[in-house]
C-alpha cells in the first residue's frame, strides 16, 4: 500500500484533485466532474390568476461525482467491489482542488456517497496513451468551503 508521500511523489503535477476518506488521503486525480447542484421547481397554478404561475423551490436533484485518471490506494476500488456483493456502505469523503503549490483552493465535502460505476483502464499494445480509470459516485449532501 502506498502512503500519502508516495502517492504525491509519484503523481504528476496535473493530479490536482485529491480524495480523502476515513481520515486519510486515498488518491489523486487529474479530472473531477462535479455535479450541477440544482433544485427542482414546482409550478403552482392559482385559480383566477392567469397572468403568471407561481414557481416554488422543490428538492435538490440527484448528484453524481466522476473522478478520472487516478493514482492512489486500493481502498476506493475495495469499496466498489464490496458494494457489488453486499449492501452499499455510504461514506463521507472530501475532494480538494490544489493549486500549483499544492495548497488547497476549494474543498467539496460529500456526505452519504457510494460508488455506482468503475471503469478500468483500456490497454492496447499499439497505443502510447495513459491508462484511464473512472470512478463515479452517487452523492448525498454536498457543501463547498475554501479549506
pLDDT one-digit tens code per residue, 33-44: 887 778 889 998
Categorize the per-residue pLDDT at 12 as very low, low, confident or very high, splitting at 50, 70 and 90.
very low
Q: What is the pLDDT of residue 141?
A: 86
Question: Mean of the per-residue pLDDT values for the chain?
Answer: 81
Q: Which of 1-5, 88-92, 139-143 has the lowest mean pLDDT?
A: 1-5
In three-state secondary structure terms, 139 is strand
- CB pairs under 8 A, 24+ apart, for 36-42? 36/61, 36/63, 37/63, 37/142
Rounded to two decimals, what is the model's pTM?
A: 0.71
**Residue 77, C-alpha cell as written in the block:** 476500488
Domains of the chain: 4-36+60-122+129-145 (2.40.30)
Residue 80's H or E segment, with its range, is helix 75-85
**Residue 38, C-alpha cell as written in the block:** 440544482
Amino acid at each position: 500500500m502506498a502512503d500519502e508521500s508516495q502517492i504525491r511523489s509519484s503523481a504528476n503535477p496535473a493530479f490536482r484533485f485529491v480524495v480523502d476518506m476515513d481520515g486519510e488521503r486515498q488518491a489523486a486525480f487529474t479530472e473531477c466532474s462535479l455535479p450541477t447542484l440544482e433544485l427542482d421547481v414546482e409550478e403552482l397554478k392559482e385559480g383566477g390568476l392567469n397572468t403568471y404561475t407561481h414557481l416554488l423551490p422543490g428538492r435538490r436533484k440527484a448528484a453524481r461525482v466522476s473522478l478520472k485518471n487516478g493514482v492512489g490506494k486500493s481502498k476506493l476500488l475495495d469499496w466498489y467491489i464490496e458494494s457489488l456483493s453486499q449492501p452499499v456502505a455510504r461514506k463521507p469523503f472530501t475532494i480538494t482542488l490544489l493549486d500549483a503549490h499544492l495548497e488547497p483552493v476549494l474543498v467539496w465535502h460529500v456526505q452519504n456517497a457510494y460508488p455506482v460505476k468503475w471503469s478500468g483502464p483500456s490497454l492496447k499494445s499499439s497505443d502510447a496513451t495513459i491508462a484511464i480509470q473512472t470512478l463515479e459516485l452517487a452523492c448525498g449532501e454536498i457543501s463547498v468551503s475554501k479549506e
